[in-house]
Structure 1
């Protein structure tokens, strides 16, 4: 069985869906006593859409960012998601939200073929 089975094109779809979820979920889940927590998630979602629009893969518009750099940015975002609960002293659902997002992003990157879309 092939370990990396998510194509760059499928990764692009996951990026857009995940970015929209990062924008919507803080409101759906009623996250954060502080507005900063909501804006971290919303800002990350908006940045995710911007990076997806600029990446050299199937569903982008401008195709400027190499796919390997895109994956590195995803890893940096996942690492930031791990740090956010400690940085903002989050507990409960707020902390779990960022930890779950980190795990999802790490898994998607780990399972994505790191070749550019043809």
Structure 2
């Protein structure tokens, strides 16, 4: 069984859904200050580099999908570290690692460009 079953197109859909969640959820959870704005800026950044990614839902296609995945992982690392470094409250200290875990899962389950090309040739 292949564990990397998320196509770049499906990954793109999840990107925009996650970006929306990153922008909206901190307001619903009552975050303020850096707890709020780190998530909002992260969501806006995800929208920006998704629009620049060379996949189905990218608009300009300047960034390869593999680089996009590295940006995703970088954001996940930042979200794991932030609560400790920035002294977040209890709820935000749970929110950020949970969001990071979701990102890591999506990256781990996403097909890489070489895998997509091989699947198309079959």
1-structure distance, mates of 2:66, 2:60: 16
Kindly provide the CA deviation profile for residues 34-93 of structure 1, in whole angstroms up to 9, marking residues without a partner as x: x12111100000000000000000011101101100000000000000001011112311
TM-score scaled to structure 1, two decimals? Answer: 0.93
Which 4+ stretches in 1 moved above 3 angstroms?
A: none
Larger Rg: 2
Asked whether the equivalents of residues 73 and 104 of structure 2 are also in contact (C-alpha less than 8 Å), the reply is: yes
Q: 1:68 aligned to 2:66? A: yes
**Residue 35 of structure 2 contacts residue 88 of structure 2 at CA under 8 Å; is this kept in 1?**
no
Residue 27 of structure 2: aligned partner: 27
Higher helix share: 2
SS in 1 for 2:59: coil
- Number of residue-to-residue matches in the alignment: 116
RMSD: 1.3
In structure 2, C-alpha distance between the alignment counterparts of 1:59 and 1:37, rounded to whole Å: 29
